[in-house]
Amino acid sequence: MPRTTRRTFLKNTALGSATLALASTLQAQTAPAVRTALAKPPRQPNVLLLWTDQHRADTMPYANNPVIKTPTFSKLAAQSFVFPGARCTQPVCTPSRGSIMTGLWPHAHGSVQNNIPLRSDAKCLAEMLPAGYATAYMGKWHLGSEITAQHGFNEWVSIEDGIYRDYYANPEDRKRRSSYHSYLLKNGFPPDEVEKDTKAALYSRTMAAAMAEPFTKAHFLANEAERFLRERRDGAPFFLSVNTLEPHPPTYGPLNGFYDPATMPTGPAFAQPPADDAAGLVRRTYQRIHEEGYKNHPTQTRDDWKRIRANYYGLITMVDNAFARILRALEASGEADNTIIVYTSDHGEMAGDHCLMQKSVFYDQATNIPLMIHVPWISRSQVRLDGPISQIDLVPTILDLMGANVPAHLQGRSRAGVLRDSKTWKQDDIVVEWHGEDFKEEDGRSLVTTDGWKLNLYRGNTPELYDLNTDPGELHNLVRVAKHSDRVRRLTNQLRAWQVAQQDSIPLAG
């Protein structure tokens, strides 16, 4: 490793001041001034889909978070339609990503658990575009081979190597390395682990997380997105999708120390063990974390959980810094007035609520995700649309905003009409799926209503009913309270009717 590169790496590992200074400098850079909306797109519109892995909604600027510093998200939110009540289709990576790409429910596109490749006949958004689009996918995929261009994307920039390689359909793909791997080699960083069976030299996620900010996966993707936008000189419209791994664990990075754990905002469920009648998956996950800790993070005290949450906030700010570069490159390209910008995430993060980490549960912290849509020819001011909305509607909405055909097989519906006239906004009850990975009795469906109730039904576990109006932390299961029996019956029938309409056949116990 060259001396200067090694010095940078070592300084970052010790969380040196240079990295934190870089973060402050990036945050201080301003976005272009707000302009008035256009009557229509100047040309066939572009789409820039920015998304992350594991970003919980209460860290977004429209959630009035008093601590987190995300100037890029704040400026984008000020010019976008924002959806505080947005939910993913399933709170785990592969199924949710499949829905974001295809506009189909997990039970329909088939990738119902992590590492089940998306079927070749499950068309992605890039395959539904009108002819002539330049298409590029950059970042984590988690729907099959990480390093092979597929599903309508012509350009492919990859960041993942290790843990997904066992699931590649083509064994030859295991001989290849990600774009990020090549980038680190070029910059003088030797791989830190060797794969047991193939003896392949790889970079672990833990090493990537310990890099100085300019060498992280998020900023590598910003480099590639900037390049893509600089090269757009042929007049062809583009669809660019950029997905960062961060703020997904490892829950540490170059901005550890940027936030004081003592200042972390917390809610009623923070550092509180789940109730005795919580779902089996919740109880087992809690027990494992309580006994073993979480990936070398102590989890025994409230201060332990605050420290993890502070690290998580640092990862979100780092992503914000990287996305600032991409949006500046879009402005410099001259295409900003002609580009739909979407920001979202595949699912949320528990970050200490109910003493849990990650996702895979129906709690709002895992299912409630960011969603912002910027359409410069409709509005350049923030329009807030409260109430539940599902990511299942994202693909048809984008296609409709582009003026493209919306295929009849899509299971969501376009909300473009609402963006054109927000007075027509009508909230809908929405459903979130869960397909158990190890225990089939945990297969479940969650119904979130417009009046603030949530009913969770499972194949074999005890049902759950929460009043999100009075119990936002979901601490008190009301399903056996006599005065709510009519509500439970009505919502159960509604959820089963949804299953019939969506050809969802898993049995749910009432």
Give tens-digit pLDDT for 324-361: 999 999 999 999 999 999 999 999 999 999 999 999 99
Position 37 scores a pLDDT of 59
Q: Which residue has the higher pLDDT, 452 or 19?
A: 452
Ordered DSSP codes for 155-221: EEE----TTTGGG-SSGGGGG---HHHHHHHHTTPPP-EE-TTT--EE--HHHHHTS-GGGSHHHHH
Position 35 scores a pLDDT of 56
Position 2 scores a pLDDT of 38
Position 69 scores a pLDDT of 98
CA angle 20-23-24, nearest 5°?
90
Model pLDDT for residues 117-159, shown as the tens digit of each residue: 999 999 999 999 999 999 999 999 999 999 999 999 999 999 9
What does the alpha-carbon distance between residue 360 and residue 285 come to, in Å, rounded to a whole number? 9
**Rounded to the nearest 10 degrees, what angle do helices 302-333 and 217-230 cross at?**
10
What does the alpha-carbon distance between residue 93 and residue 446 come to, in Å, rounded to a whole number? 17
Give the domain extent around 209: 3-29+49-501
DSSP class of 276: T
In a domain, 506, yes or no: no
Contacts of residue 11, Cβ cutoff 8 Å, sequence gap at least 6: 18, 19, 212
In a domain, 38, yes or no: no
Q: Strand, coil or helix: what is 154?
A: coil
1 pLDDT higher than 80: no
The tally of domains found in the chain comes to 1
Q: Which two tokens stand for residue 176?
A: 């290849």
- Adjacent-strand bridge partners of 431: 447
In a domain, 151, yes or no: yes
In a domain, 510, yes or no: no
Element (H, E) at 307: helix 302-333
Position 13 scores a pLDDT of 39
What does the alpha-carbon distance between residue 165 and residue 145 come to, in Å, rounded to a whole number? 8
Q: Is the dihedral angle over the CA atoms 104, 108, 111, 117 positive or is it negative?
A: negative
In a domain, 435, yes or no: yes
**Rounded to the nearest 10 degrees, what angle do helices 394-402 and 93-102 cross at?**
30
pLDDT above 70 coverage of the chain, percent: 92
Which domain CATH number covers 489? 3.40.720.10
Model pLDDT for residues 58-84, shown as the tens digit of each residue: 999 999 999 999 999 999 999 999 999
In a domain, 142, yes or no: yes
Contacts of residue 14, Cβ cutoff 8 Å, sequence gap at least 6: none
pLDDT band at 38 (very low <50, low <70, confident <90, very high): low
Q: Show contacts of 109-118: CB within 8 Å, 24+ apart.
A: 111/143, 112/433, 112/435, 113/435, 113/437, 114/142, 114/437, 115/142, 115/164, 115/167, 117/143, 117/144, 117/145, 117/167, 117/169, 118/143, 118/144, 118/151
Q: Identify whether the C-beta of residue 360 lies closer than 8 Å to the C-beta of residue 439.
A: no
- Adjacent-strand bridge partners of 341: 48, 374
In a domain, 272, yes or no: yes
pLDDT band at 31 (very low <50, low <70, confident <90, very high): very low
In a domain, 146, yes or no: yes
Model pLDDT for residues 183-209, shown as the tens digit of each residue: 999 999 999 999 888 888 999 999 999
What does the alpha-carbon distance between residue 397 and residue 419 come to, in Å, rounded to a whole number? 9
416 pLDDT higher than 60: yes
33 pLDDT higher than 70: no
**304 — phi, psi (to 5°)?**
-60, -45
Q: Which residue has the higher pLDDT, 373 or 19?
A: 373
Q: Which residue has the higher pLDDT, 276 or 480?
A: 480
Averaged confidence pLDDT in the chain: 90
